[in-house]
Amino acid sequence: VNAYLSRTCLDFLVGFHLSPLLWRKLPGSKSAGRVQSLALRKIVEREYEIENFIPQKYWTLEGEFLNENNDVLTGSLVKWQNKKIEKFMWTEKSAEEAAKKLQLDTYSLEKVEKFTKIYRPNAPFITSTLQQAASNILHWKADYTASIAQKLYEGVELQNKTVGLITYIRTDSVKISSEAIKECRLVIKEKFGEKYLPEKSNEYKSKVRNAQEAHEAIRPVDIQLSPDKLENVINNNLLKLYSLIWKQTVASQMKSAEYLLYNAFIFSDNGTWKIHGRKLAFDGFQKLIPSSTDTENEGIFENQNITSCTKVSVMEHETKPASRYSEAGLIKFLEESGVGRPSTYARILQILDERGYVKSQQRSLSPTERGWLVVGFLINYFEEYIEVNFTANVEEKLDSVARDKMNWQDVVQSFWKSFIVNVDKVHEVKIYDSLRKIENSFEKHFFDNRECPACLKGTKELKLGKSNIFIGCSRYPECNWIQKKASEVSRSLNPESENEIIVKYGPYGAYLEWQKTKKRLHIPSVMNSQTITLEEAKKLESLPIELGKHPLSNEVVKVGIGRFGPYVQHMNNYISIRKDDIFSLTLDECINLISESSSRKKSFSKSKFTKKTSKTNK
C-alpha cells in the first residue's frame, strides 16, 4: 500500500508540474509523465538514429556445393588464403576476382562438427509478455489486448452462467499453482502422449527486475477447457486470445525441443567454407506451438564427400539502421529496464497516441513533430528525470518500500526537493530560448541547411503557430519566409482530375479533401499520409460501406470513419471502435460490438436508476 501511495504521489508530482510547464512553454503540447516521457524519448532517439544513419556497402561470397547424393548445400566463405573474413574487407572488384579463383578450385570435406541444442518452452504469460505476443502474432495494440484479456478475466456467458476463463491479468509472476501444473500434465498426456511429458514439472524464474510476484502467471482457470471447446461459443477475438494463453500455459509444461546442429567445413587451395545446418530430432513443445524456422542443409549429416562446387556468388549487402520500436519492442525494453509496472504499459502507449506524440505505421512507432518538440524540451531542462537509470532506480526504491526497507515519505521527499527547484528555474525560461535549445538538440531533423532561401541573410528557426510547428526566418518581420515541415506539406493525388483529391494536415492530423465537393475525410493511422495512393483514397471515399443485415433487427450494419474516428452504425446508433483497419472488419465482429455496446448501456441505465431509487428511499 505504501509503495502504491509513493508511486501515485511521484506520478502526480511529475505530471501536475511538468504538464503545465509544457502548456506555457510549448503551446499545444498536452502532458508529460514520469514513465510516459521516457518511453517517448526512446522512440524519438531511435528515429533520430535512423534519420542520421549512413549506410555502408559490403560484399560476401556464397558457394553452392553438391555431395554424393546430389544434395545442394549452401555455404559462406570464412577464410580467404588463410585469413579470416572481415565484414568490410572486400570491394566489389576484389570479391569478383576471388570468386573466379574459387570457382576453379578443387574441394573436399575437411570436418563436420555435430552437437545438440535444446530449446526450452517459454514461461507462461505475464502482463507484458502477453501484450508482446498479441502484438507479434495477432497484430493487436497493447490497450486492445488488455481490454480483451479483461473480458476473459471478468467472465463470459457459458451454459447460462458467467464463467471467468483466465486468472488475474495484471501480474509479473511466471509461476502457476501446483493444481494447474497437474491439470497441464493430464492434458499433455491425453492429447500428445507420455513422450511429451517431462519427468518433473518445468519451473521458471521471473526475468523482470524487481518482480513482485503477488499473483500467478496468466493461465486458463480450467485447463481442461481447450480452445476447440469454445468455438462458436465466444466471439472470435476472445477465442484468439484465450487460445494464445491456453497454448502457452500447456506448452510451458511440455518437454523441450531438440535439434541436431552441425557446422561442416569445406577446404580448397584458396579458401575455407562453412556450411551450417540443423535438423529436428524431437519437436517437444513445438508440437503445440510450431517453430517458424525451417530445417536446412540436412544431407551433410551422412559425412558424404563434396563432389563439386556448382556456383560461387558475390552477394552485395548494405548496413541497415536499427529498426523502429514496435509496441511489443517498446514494452520489452521498458520491462527489461525495470521501468514502470506491467499493468501500466498499455496505458502509457495509449496516452502517447492520444496526445498526438507518436503515430503507428505498419506496426512501427514513430514520433510526430509534436513528439520531437516535447522530447527536445525535456532533454534540455529535465534530462535527469527521463533517463533509464534514474527511472529504474526510482522503481527499485519503490520496491524497497514494498519490502518495508524504506519509508515511502522519505522516497517522495528526496525526489521532490531537487525536482521542484528545477521546475522553478524552468518557469523563468522564455519560449524563444527553449525553441533555440530544441532545434540545436535535433538540428539534422529540423533543417537541411540553416540559411534562409528568401533573404539569404537570416537563418531558419523553429516557430510555433496556434496549432502547428513551422520553420521561419530569424529576420521576421523583415523577411516573411515560412516553410511547413516536409511531413506537413499538402500534396495532390490526382492533379489532372476535375475533383482533385489533396492530402492536407490540420490540428487533428492528416485528412483528404475533394476540391470540387469540399468533402473531407480523416486518414486513419493504418494508412501512411505521406505515401497514401489514389486507390486508397477512393477506398476511403466509398465509406460508409454496408456489411450486411443484423440477424435480430434485420437492419443494415455499416462501418465508416467520422470526426471522432472509425465507427459501426446500426440504425441510429454509432459505436466507436479502436480498430483503424475497418476494411478487415467482418459482420460477425460488428454484431458483437453492437451487442457489447447495448449491454453496457443497459448496465449504465440500471445503475443510474438504482442510485436514484436509493436516494428517494432515504
Binning the chain into helix, strand and coil, the percentages to the nearest 5 are: 40, 25, 35
Cell of 581: 483497419
Count, residues in the chain: 618
Closest CA to 115 of 311, 329, 276, 3: 276
Q: Phi, psi (5° rounding) for residue 317?
A: -130, 170
Active site residue 476: no
Whole-number Å distance between alpha carbons of 328 and 364: 10
Cis peptide before 477 (omega within 30 of 0): yes
8 Å CB contact between 285 and 149: no
Closest CA to 354 of 532, 564, 511: 564
Order of all β-strands in the sheet with 573-576: 545-549, 556-562, 565-570, 573-576
8 Å CB contact between 21 and 281: no
Whole-number Å distance between alpha carbons of 265 and 107: 10
Cell of 257: 525441443
Residue from 48, 58, 153, 168 carrying the catalytic annotation: 168
Whole-number Å distance between alpha carbons of 64 and 94: 20
Question: Taking phi first (over 0 means left), then psi (-120 to 50 degrees means alpha), and beta for anything else, what does residue 177 get?
Answer: beta
Q: Phi, psi (5° rounding) for residue 504?
A: -125, 165
287-296: burial string, b at 16+ Cβ within 10 Å, e else: bbbeeeeeee
Which sequence positions are flagged as catalytic? 168
